[in-house]
């Protein structure tokens, strides 16, 4: 009989050994291949480390890296040890030599073939399994960090009275451990069974006992561990019911317990837990009884119980107890879901007010007057006028503007806030005269300048009234660094600061060159860095190009969203980063969210679906859009400097436990809210994506009565955008407006709702979007009565299109090759009813960019289609008011005087001009104290001019609203 531990016997054939030269060559090639592979892996690691160090967030890199390495090592070793130990133990417990059956004789060949390699085979199998398990575990670094650093929510779920932190931070980690335990047990069981079979511990066809006592005991223990883990799973499933999603007609992605869960599934899980514990004990008892009879009976009982108690019984309860009286049975659980969902999405403080939907008075003159003060009606649609900015302000073909511009607020020379449409002139590589490696990455490296226009007015030709324009930019935004090295359209890498000069901008005198002076990017003077980036970017020229030398730095990860997501991978990034000119710099402001999928009873939503609208594109899509969440907070405001790429994260929601958890995990990465500069805070706003998530939830969760919620009679929907044919939801709009009973206008974000399956208006929603306002984030909903039919956006658009007079005017506008484009259809509450305003643009007739030509206005049953907003309002209300179209200003930024200049105004403006000139001189000399003093004098002079102008306009005979003089024009 052959020795089952030995190897095959017989004569061996000797093969000639290769020569020393061949062996040396093969060894050298092997070493070189290993080194090459090692350097490829090292290059990715090294470039990541250099980038994080360059942005001063190396702690994020090291914390993430060491967490992944730790999880990989610990769980990889645990899995390898578990499987390897059981393989070794099964081999150790193999039966002694005995008379061999035919089955064993057929297996003997395999035993003999692996005998010389048993140790290496064991190491190879365990190493492979350990690597796979470790790689899987390292992907759980977020789960681990949240478990280790979790802070309490100080809110308890209504069923088990556990803190929400248990579901958000602890339960996911316990589920991972449970899954790992199942995987280790199953793999160990399979490996042990194979070894026992190979060495005769298990028999399939042989007569007599099918398993030895040792094999029986070993496998029974593993089966007992498996059933024990199943018992733990049943126990955790009890808590999992609080965060379980299910199909329920009351709401999509319903989360939390329902009647059948609390009264059938919950007791069933408890019973199954007890049965599983008993079954596990029976398996462990086989160590002494050496028989599987009782464990198999117990396991069969557990399976049968799972079918009957865990499946059939809940179905019976649902069919015969819940369905006949669903509202009464489900109401308590619906109430818990409503409360949790409203808390989790920050809509619990939303205020719903009844709104009549009909004018409160018949005073047309007063309504016309109120129309001028209820809102700064934005006629310049940032989603349409980008081609106009492009045509009028692109200046050079290698510049471009984003397809959708941004809306912000800036102060006019009198110090009043005005809604502004703003865009940056970013680099467009496709417009470079000649594309080559040097031009694409060394010469054309950045955009230049800001272009901004008043949001509420256009000139007589329908063009924007620019408050900042030209190249270099000049206007009301003051002096600031205009180079844009980091932007939404800047996706390629650039190498700057070395021997190769860059194109700064071009004017009538020719090209102006520059060399980057910022500290951003990674230094390429080091040959190791150059080699690593040449490999990482698949650009061998980086390694040997003469254009790279001392001072050369490589800039990449240049979009604001990319940079914020990289330094804070635990945040979800808003789809719309927007620029602001603050403190002499261009800063990108990026809203970021902390999210969770473990808030008990709160219904889930998919971010990509909820935030999509008719304007969403790849550039404006929310990061991590496939994520399903049931808790969200705008907890972080981030900024990215457009010149040096500096990223700052500011704590915004100081009460968010998820943010506090991540701040514990990554200490020092998020700055305190108090560190936000007041001037920067003026430009921060309520984020669009959060608003879109909230409005989607409020289509159902504005209802707080469970009976009404279940009936669905009050359910709303977000209407489709009627201004285009995309079929997607109407986007929310930023504009300054005031809600009923609000004293002053506030920068707001607004939307509308219609009833499910109908087009009439059911509600209007607005949130105060001014970050420095006392009631920032307050959601107000004006709910219209069901008995009053108020036209919704689609119906209003249909009225515009079906009106014969308007249709004829539009047909004339479309004459020739012209195209008509409808701007944002804005809805505004006015005197108990809703005012609709829609700008109409025309493109064509020799002009290939859209110009504002008409304004559509609807109020009640009146509709107007006029050249200006003022004329349209006058026609609707039959009264005189203000116009909002400006004649072409002489310098592109200010309106020329229309009345004789008042002496006081003249002196004040002279003082302002002197203060401005003094400030420019101080700025050039670097005298910041004198510059600050000059700015104070400038502000005071402008205020005196505004006050004097107001007094002059109030005198008898003065033209209302007339301007007396332009403000000083900045020279650069």
Contact between residue 832 and residue 807 where contact means Cβ atoms under 8 Å apart = no
Stretch 439-453: mean pLDDT, rounded? 93
Higher pLDDT pick, 750 / 27? 750
* Residue closest to 409 by CA, chosen among 378, 383, 387, 442: 378
Q: Tell me the three state secondary structure of residue 653.
A: coil
The answer to whether residue 608 scores a pLDDT higher than 70 is yes
User: How confident is the model at residue 899, as a pLDDT?
Assistant: 37
d(CA 402, CA 404): 5
Token pair, residue 806, equals: 């308007």
> Burial code of 434-467, b = ≥16 C-beta within 10 A, e = fewer?
eeeeebbbbbbbbbbbbbbbbbbbbbeebbbbbb
The answer to whether residue 407 scores a pLDDT higher than 90 is yes
User: How confident is the model at residue 915, as a pLDDT?
Assistant: 74
- pLDDT more than 70, % of the chain: 87
Split at pLDDT 50, 70, 90, the class of 249 is low
**Averaged pLDDT of the chain:** 85
d(CA 786, CA 780): 19
The answer to whether residue 158 scores a pLDDT higher than 90 is yes
Residue with the two structure tokens 């047309």: 364
User: How confident is the model at residue 18, as a pLDDT?
Assistant: 66
Range of weakest confidence among 424-433, 484-493, 924-933: 924-933
Token pair, residue 52, equals: 């994080």
User: How confident is the model at residue 643, as a pLDDT?
Assistant: 94
The answer to whether residue 146 scores a pLDDT higher than 80 is yes
Stretch 728-744: mean pLDDT, rounded? 89
Range of weakest confidence among 97-111, 134-148, 281-295: 97-111
Three state DSSP letters for 589-651: EEEEEEEECCCCCCCCEEHHHHCCCCCCCCCCCCCCCCCEECEEEEEEEEEEECCCCCEEEEE
pLDDT digits (tens, 9 = 90+) for 320-357: 888 888 888 889 999 999 999 999 999 999 999 999 98
User: How confident is the model at residue 31, as a pLDDT?
Assistant: 78
Contact between residue 242 and residue 254 where contact means Cβ atoms under 8 Å apart = no
> From start to end of 172-289, where are the E strands?
245-248, 251-255
User: How confident is the model at residue 380, as a pLDDT?
Assistant: 92
The answer to whether residue 967 scores a pLDDT higher than 60 is no
Other residues' Cβ atoms within 10 Å of the Cβ of residue 868:
21
The answer to whether residue 542 scores a pLDDT higher than 50 is yes
Range of weakest confidence among 157-166, 497-506, 721-730: 721-730
User: How confident is the model at residue 8, as a pLDDT?
Assistant: 41
Q: Where are the alpha helices (H) located in 868-927, listed in sequence order?
A: 869-877, 903-925
* Residue closest to 828 by CA, chosen among 244, 386, 508, 374: 374
User: How confident is the model at residue 96, as a pLDDT?
Assistant: 77
Highest mean pLDDT among 133-147, 203-217, 459-473: 133-147
d(CA 428, CA 405): 16
The answer to whether residue 496 scores a pLDDT higher than 70 is yes
Stretch 728-735: mean pLDDT, rounded? 89
d(CA 194, CA 5): 16
User: How confident is the model at residue 647, as a pLDDT?
Assistant: 96
How far, in Å, are 388, 649, 768 from residue 393 at the CA level? 8, 32, 32
* Residue closest to 346 by CA, chosen among 596, 62, 634: 634
d(CA 318, CA 248): 12
Contact between residue 453 and residue 421 where contact means Cβ atoms under 8 Å apart = yes
Higher pLDDT pick, 534 / 610? 534
pLDDT digits (tens, 9 = 90+) for 762-806: 999 999 999 988 899 999 999 999 888 888 899 988 888 888 888
d(CA 472, CA 480): 10
User: How confident is the model at residue 957, as a pLDDT?
Assistant: 42
Range of weakest confidence among 91-100, 368-377, 432-441, 734-743: 91-100
Strands 450-459 and 885-886: parallel
Strands 779-783 and 763-768: antiparallel
Rg of the chain over Cα atoms, rounded to whole angstroms, equals 36
User: How confident is the model at residue 931, as a pLDDT?
Assistant: 60
User: How confident is the model at residue 324, as a pLDDT?
Assistant: 87
The answer to whether residue 109 scores a pLDDT higher than 90 is no
User: How confident is the model at residue 894, as a pLDDT?
Assistant: 36
Stretch 695-702: mean pLDDT, rounded? 93
- The torsion of the CA quartet 694, 699, 703, 704, rounded to 10 degrees, works out to -30
How far, in Å, are 454, 473, 885 from residue 893 at the CA level? 9, 11, 14
The answer to whether residue 206 scores a pLDDT higher than 70 is no
Stretch 888-899: mean pLDDT, rounded? 39
Range of weakest confidence among 656-660, 684-688, 804-808, 928-932: 928-932
Q: What is the pTM of this model?
A: 0.84
d(CA 346, CA 683): 22
Residues 6+ apart with CB under 8 A from 85: 188
Residue with the two structure tokens 């504005």: 702
pLDDT digits (tens, 9 = 90+) for 34-68: 777 777 778 888 999 999 999 999 999 999 999 99
Highest mean pLDDT among 348-357, 383-392, 632-641: 632-641
d(CA 355, CA 783): 5
Highest mean pLDDT among 301-310, 464-473, 878-887: 464-473
């Amino acid at each position: 009989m052959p020795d089952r531990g030995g190897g095959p016997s017989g004569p061996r054939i000797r093969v000639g050994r290769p020569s020393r030269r061949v062996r040396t060559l093969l060894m050298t090639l092997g070493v070189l291949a290993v080194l090459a592979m090692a350097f490829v892996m090292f290059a990715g690691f090294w470039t990541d480390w250099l980038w994080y160090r360059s942005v001063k967030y190396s702690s994020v890199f090291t914390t993430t890296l060491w967490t992944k390495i730790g999880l990989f090592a610990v769980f990889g070793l645990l899995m390898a040890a578990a499987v390897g130990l059981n393989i070794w133990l099964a081999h150790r417990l193999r039966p002694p030599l005995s008379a061999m059956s035919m089955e064993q004789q057929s297996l003997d060949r395999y035993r003999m073939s692996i005998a010389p390699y048993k140790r290496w085979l064991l190491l190879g199998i365990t190493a492979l399994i350990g690597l796979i398990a470790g790689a899987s575990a390292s992907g759980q670094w977020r789960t681990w960090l949240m478990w280790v650093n979790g802070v309490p929510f100080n809110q308890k779920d209504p069923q088990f009275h556990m803190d929400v932190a248990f579901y958000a931070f602890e339960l996911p980690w316990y589920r991972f451990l449970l899954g790992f335990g199942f995987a280790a047990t199953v793999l160990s069981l399979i490996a042990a069974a194979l070894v026992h079979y190979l060495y005769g511990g298990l028999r399939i066809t042989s007569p007599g006992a099918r398993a030895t006592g040792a094999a029986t005991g070993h496998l029974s223990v593993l089966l007992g561990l498996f059933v024990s883990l199943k018992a733990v799973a049943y126990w955790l499933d009890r808590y999992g019911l609080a965060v379980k999603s299910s199909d329920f007609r009351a709401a999509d992605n319903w989360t939390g317990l329902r009647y059948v869960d609390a009264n059938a599934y919950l007791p069933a899980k408890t019973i199954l837990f007890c049965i599983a514990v008993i079954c596990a004990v029976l398996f462990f008892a086989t160590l002494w009884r050496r028989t599987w009879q009782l464990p198999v009976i117990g396991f069969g009982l557990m399976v049968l119980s799972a079918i009957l108690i865990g499946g059939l019984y809940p179905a019976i309860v649902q069919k015969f107890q819940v369905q006949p009286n669903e509202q009464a049975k489900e109401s308590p659980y619906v109430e818990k879901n409503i409360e949790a969902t409203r808390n989790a999405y920050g809509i619990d403080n939303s205020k719903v007010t009844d709104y009549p939907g009909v004018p409160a008075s018949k005073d047309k003159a007063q309504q016309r007057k109120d129309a001028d003060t209820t809102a700064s009606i934005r006629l310049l649609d940032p989603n349409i006028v980008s081609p106009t900015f492009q045509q009028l302000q692109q200046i050079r073909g290698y510049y471009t503007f984003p397809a959708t511009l941004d809306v912000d607020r800036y102060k006019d020379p009198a110090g009043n806030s005005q809604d502004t449409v703003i865009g940056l002139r970013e680099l467009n590589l496709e417009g470079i005269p000649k594309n080559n490696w040097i031009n694409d990455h060394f010469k054309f490296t950045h955009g230049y300048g800001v272009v901004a226009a008043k949001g509420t007015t256009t000139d007589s030709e329908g063009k924007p009234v620019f408050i900042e324009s030209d190249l270099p930019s000049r206007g009301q935004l003051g002096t600031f660094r205009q180079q844009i090295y980091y932007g939404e359209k800047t996706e390629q890498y650039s190498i700057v600061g070395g021997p190769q000069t860059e194109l700064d901008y071009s004017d009538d005198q020719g090209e102006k060159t520059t060399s980057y002076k910022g500290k951003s990017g990674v230094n390429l003077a080091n040959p190791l860095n150059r080699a690593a980036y040449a490999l990482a970017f698949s650009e061998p020229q980086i390694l040997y190009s003469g254009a790279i030398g001392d001072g050369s730095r490589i800039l990449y990860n240049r979009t604001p969203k990319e940079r914020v997501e990289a330094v804070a991978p635990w945040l979800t990034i808003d789809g719309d980063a927007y620029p602001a000119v603050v403190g002499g710099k261009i800063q990108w402001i990026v809203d970021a969210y902390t999210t969770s999928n473990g808030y008990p009873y709160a219904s889930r939503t998919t971010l990509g679906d909820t935030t999509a609208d008719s304007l969403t594109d790849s550039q404006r899509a929310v990061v991590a859009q496939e994520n399903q969440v049931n808790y969200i907070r705008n907890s972080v405001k981030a900024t990215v400097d457009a010149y040096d790429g500096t990223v700052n994260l500011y704590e915004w929601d100081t009460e968010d436990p998820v943010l506090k958890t991540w701040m514990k995990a990554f200490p020092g990465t998020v700055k305190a809210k108090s560190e936000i500069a007041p001037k920067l805070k003026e430009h921060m706003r309520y984020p669009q994506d959060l608003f879109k998530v909230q409005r989607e939830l409020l289509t159902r969760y504005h209802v707080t009565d469970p009976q009404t919620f279940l009936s669905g009679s009050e359910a709303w929907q977000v209407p489709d955008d009627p201004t285009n044919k995309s079929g997607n939801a109407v986007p929310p709009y930023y504009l300054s407006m005031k809600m009923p009973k609000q004293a002053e206008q506030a920068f707001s974000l607004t939307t509308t709702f219609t009833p499910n399956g109908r087009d009439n208006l059911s509600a209007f929603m607005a949130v105060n979007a001014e970050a420095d306002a006392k009631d920032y984030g307050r959601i107000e909903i004006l709910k219209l009565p069901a008995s009053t039919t108020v036209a919704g956006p689609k119906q209003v658009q249909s009225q515009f299109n079906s009106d014969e007079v308007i249709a004829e005017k539009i047909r004339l506008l479309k004459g020739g090759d012209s195209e008509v484009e409808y701007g944002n259809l804005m809805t505004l509450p006015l005197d108990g009813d809703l005012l609709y305003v829609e700008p109409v643009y025309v493109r064509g007739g020799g002009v290939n960019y859209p110009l504002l030509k008409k304004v559509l206005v609807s109020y009640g049953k009146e509709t107007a289609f006029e050249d200006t907003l003022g004329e349209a309002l006058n026609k609707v209300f039959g009264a005189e008011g203000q116009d909002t179209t400006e004649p072409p200003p002489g310098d592109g930024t200010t309106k020329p005087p229309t009345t004789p200049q008042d002496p006081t105004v003249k002196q004040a403006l002279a003082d302002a001009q002197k203060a401005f000139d003094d400030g420019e001189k101080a700025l050039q000399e670097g005298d910041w104290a004198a510059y600050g003093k000059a700015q104070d004098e400038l502000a005071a002079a402008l205020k005196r001019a505004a006050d004097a102008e107001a007094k002059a306009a109030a005198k008898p005979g003065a033209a209302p609203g007339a301007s007396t003089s332009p403000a000083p024009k900045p020279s650069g």
